[in-house]
Chains A and B, each alone.
Chain A
Amino acid sequence: MCKNPYRLIKAQVLDVITETPSIKTIRFKPEEPMSFSTGQFFEITVPGVGGAPFTPSSRPSQKDVFEVSVMRVGKLTRVIHELKPGDIIGARGPLGNGYPIDYFRGKEILVLGGGCGFAPLRSLMYSLFELSGQFKQLYFRGGCKNPGEFLYRREIEGWYERKDLNIQLTVDKGDDTWKGNVGLVLNILDSVHIDYKTAIAIVCGPPVMMKFGTKKLLEMGFSDEHIYLSMEKNMSCGIGKCGHCRIGTYYACKDGPVFTYSKIKSFPEIWD
C-alpha cells in the first residue's frame, strides 16, 4: 500500500517565542525524522482545531528541531499563538518545491523581502550563508511597516556585520529606535549594483510587495526566468488533490510554492 499523505507526525512544542505583537515563533521537535529544503513548507496542525501551511524559518541543515513563525490572522493562528511548551501538535511535510540553491551558485543574487516574508527568507539566508563565497554577490533588501513589526529585527540587523552580504533595511514609518532608512523597500533597490540581466532575484512578502516588487525588478532589467516568487494561495491538502491552490495550470502546493515569474506570468490575475 502507498503511504498515507494525510498522516500527521506527532511533534512536541519546545518553545514559543514572541517576536512582534502579531508574530510568534514555535519551536517544535517531531517524533520521527523530518527535513525540508529552503522554500518548502510544512502543514502544521493543532489537534482538533485544524491545520495550515507554514514555511519553516529555521536552518534546513538542522533536522531534529524546526521553527515556524506564525502571524496571528484568524482562527487557527490564534490557537497556535496560545500553544505552550510541552503541547502536542501534528506536522506533515515537507511539501512543495523550494529554491534551487544549487542553480544559484556562481551568480549575483538579490533577496527582496517584507513583513511576514522574512520567515521563509531567514531559512533561505541560512542556506545561502552556508555556501558563503560561492555567489558572486549577495544583496538583501528588506522592509517592514514599522520597527515594532520587524520580524527577527536583532538578528537581521546583525547581518550588517557580514562581509559576504550587502544589506539595507527600511521601514514605512520609523520611531526613536530606528536609525536606518524610512520609506518603501522598492526605494532602496537603486543601491543594488549587479548585472540585472543575469542576476537572480528572490521576492517574498505580502501580495502588494510581490506585485510591485516584480514590476520594479522587470523595469530594472531582471529577466522573467530569474525572478523567484513564493506564492501564497489558500491550501488544504498540500499535494495537488484538493484543488484549492490552483494558479493557471499549476497547483501552488505541488508545483510551487516557489515559481519563477516566467512560469506563471501568462496566467490572469496571479497577484490577487
Chain B
Amino acid sequence: MNISPYYLSNTDLNRFLEDLSACFQVYIPIQKENQRFYKEFVPGEPVSLGMPRTFEPLKAFLTRARETVAKDFNEKTPRQGKPIAILGAKACDLKGLKIQDHVFSGRDGADIPDPLYVDFRRDTLIIASDCASCLETCFCMSLGVSPHPQENFDINFSTLQDGYLVETGSDKGKSVIEKSLKLLSPASLDHLRERDNLRAKTAASVMDNIKKNSVPDQEHFKGIIEKNYGSEIWQQEARSCVECGCCTIICPTCHCFLLYDQKDEKSMARLRVWDSCMLKDYARVAGGGNPRAKLWMRLRNRFEKKFDFFPKVAGIYACTGCGRCISGCPAKIDIRRVLHKLVEAHV
C-alpha cells in the first residue's frame, strides 16, 4: 500500500492543513505547559507533530466519552458535522485502535458491529506521526510498538529538521495526498537517512526508559496472570488505589461503557458513557451481590483483561506502553512495576 515517500516543507504544512479543512474538521496536538492536548486547527497557527502522545487517548475521537446511541425508538442517531482528520496520532495509540476495532468493528461478520463506531472509523482520517522524543513514562517498545507508526494509519508524518517526510498507509490516505500533490516533492535519500537517524534516536531513549524502570518485554508475559492469580501482589498494589478510574478512562485500549437513559417531555435517549472496571458497582448484580467486591480484585481483573483475556481472544496484549495510567494515577500505581513483579514472581 505504501507509495514512495514525499517531502513537505514546514511552511507548506499549514497550507496542506488548510486544504484538508475543506473536507475535514482537523484536530492537531498542542503543547500546554507540560501536557499535550488535541484542539481544532485554526489556519495560520503553528503546528508541531514530533511530540509524544497527548493526554487524551485516540479512542476519544471514535467512542466519545458520552454520546447518544439511540433516540426514542428510532434506528438512526446521526453524528453532526464534517468527518474528522486527526493529526499526530502516535504509534502507541494506533495499537490501542486495534483493540477498539476488535471490540466495535464487527470483525468481518464474526461479531455484531457497532454502527456508530463503524461509520466514524470509516470517515475519520488518521494522520500519524513519528515520536521525535518520548516521555519518561513511555515504554511502547516493551509491547512490540516502535515509536514510529508502521500500520493502522492513513498517512504518516516523520518530523525532519526543516519539514516532514510523508507516507501513505491506505487508499483513503492516498486520495487525500493526491489532492495536495502541488505542495509535495519526492523525498530525497538524505531525507530518508535523516528520518532513520531520528527514529533510531527516539527508539534508543524509549529503550533507556525501559531499562531504567526494569520493564519486562512482552515475550515474558505469557501466563503471568494465571500463575499470579493468588499472589500478594494485587493486595500490595491496590493498597493506595483511590478508585478514581483514571487508569481505565485514559487508557487507549479500555473500551468498557455503560448505557443509561434520559428523558424529557418530548423525547427519550439512550446514552453510552465510558465506564471503569475499577469502580465498585461495575460488576454488581441484582440485590447487591458483587463478584469483585474488593479493590484488589478489581485491580487484578483490570490486568487480567489486558494480559490474559485480549491475548486469548484477539492475539494481542491490551497495553500499548503509552504510560498514561502511570502519569494519571494519583496513588502512583505503576503498571511497569506491576508487570515487573508479575514476571519476576513467576520465573
From B70, B277, B312, B313, contact of A7 by CB (8 A): B70
A154 to chain B, nearest CB (A): 25
Q: Are A71 and B74 in contact (CB under 8 A)?
A: no
Q: How many residues of B contact A (CB 8 A)?
A: 46
Q: Are A51 and B106 in contact (CB under 8 A)?
A: no
List CB contacts (< 8 Å) of A105-143 with chain B: none
From A7, A45, A50, contact of B74 by CB (8 A): A7
Secondary structure call for the B interface: mixed
From A77, A234, A239, A269, contact of B282 by CB (8 A): A234
Question: Cβ of A8: which chain B residues have Cβ within 8 Å of it?
Answer: 70, 73, 270
Question: Cβ of B334: which chain A residues have Cβ within 8 Å of it?
Answer: none
Q: Are A269 and B291 in contact (CB under 8 A)?
A: yes
Of the listed residues B258, B286, B292, B313, the one surrounded by the most CB atoms of chain A closer than 10 A to its CB is B286
B38 proximal to A (CB < 8 A): no
Residue of A at shortest CB range from B270? Answer: A6
Interface residue stretch chosen among A164-172, A178-186, A241-249: A241-249
Q: Are B286 and A73 in contact (CB under 8 A)?
A: yes
Question: Cβ of B262: which chain A residues have Cβ within 8 Å of it?
Answer: 48
A63–B73 Cα gap in the complex (Å)?
20
Contact A2 B74, CB 8 Å, known A232-B286, A234-B284, A249-B313: no
Q: Are B286 and A71 in contact (CB under 8 A)?
A: yes
Question: Cβ of A148: which chain B residues have Cβ within 8 Å of it?
Answer: none
A268 proximal to B (CB < 8 A): yes
B130 to chain A, nearest CB (A): 32
A45–B113 Cα gap in the complex (Å)?
22
B281 to chain A, nearest CB (A): 8
Q: Are A47 and B229 in contact (CB under 8 A)?
A: no
A226 to chain B, nearest CB (A): 25
B255 proximal to A (CB < 8 A): yes
Secondary structure call for the A interface: loop
Q: Are B259 and A47 in contact (CB under 8 A)?
A: no
Question: Cβ of B315: which chain A residues have Cβ within 8 Å of it?
Answer: none
A95 to chain B, nearest CB (A): 10
Q: Are B261 and A243 in contact (CB under 8 A)?
A: no
B283 proximal to A (CB < 8 A): yes
B119 proximal to A (CB < 8 A): yes
Question: Cβ of A50: which chain B residues have Cβ within 8 Å of it?
Answer: 260-261
List CB contacts (< 8 Å) of A13-48 with chain B: 45-48
Of the listed residues A77, A90, A237, A241, the one surrounded by the most CB atoms of chain B closer than 10 A to its CB is A241
Question: Cβ of A46: which chain B residues have Cβ within 8 Å of it?
Answer: 261
Q: Are A47 and B257 in contact (CB under 8 A)?
A: no
Q: Are B229 and A241 in contact (CB under 8 A)?
A: no
Residue of A at shortest CB range from B259? Answer: A236
Question: Cβ of B344: which chain A residues have Cβ within 8 Å of it?
Answer: none
A4 proximal to B (CB < 8 A): yes
Binding site for B on A (CB under 8 A): 1-10, 45-51, 71, 73-74, 77, 90, 207, 232-234, 236-237, 239-244, 246, 248-249, 254, 268-269, 272
Show 13 A/B contacts (Cβ-Cβ < 8 Å), sorted by A. A1-B115, A1-B119, A45-B261, A233-B285, A237-B257, A240-B103, A240-B111, A240-B112, A241-B114, A241-B255, A243-B275, A243-B277, A268-B229
**13 further A-B pairs in the complex, CB-CB below 8 A; given A241-B104, A242-B275:** A3-B75, A5-B112, A6-B270, A8-B70, A48-B262, A48-B268, A73-B287, A74-B287, A232-B286, A233-B285, A241-B257, A242-B256, A249-B313
Q: Which 3 A-B pairs have the closest CB atoms?
A: A48-B263, A243-B256, A272-B291
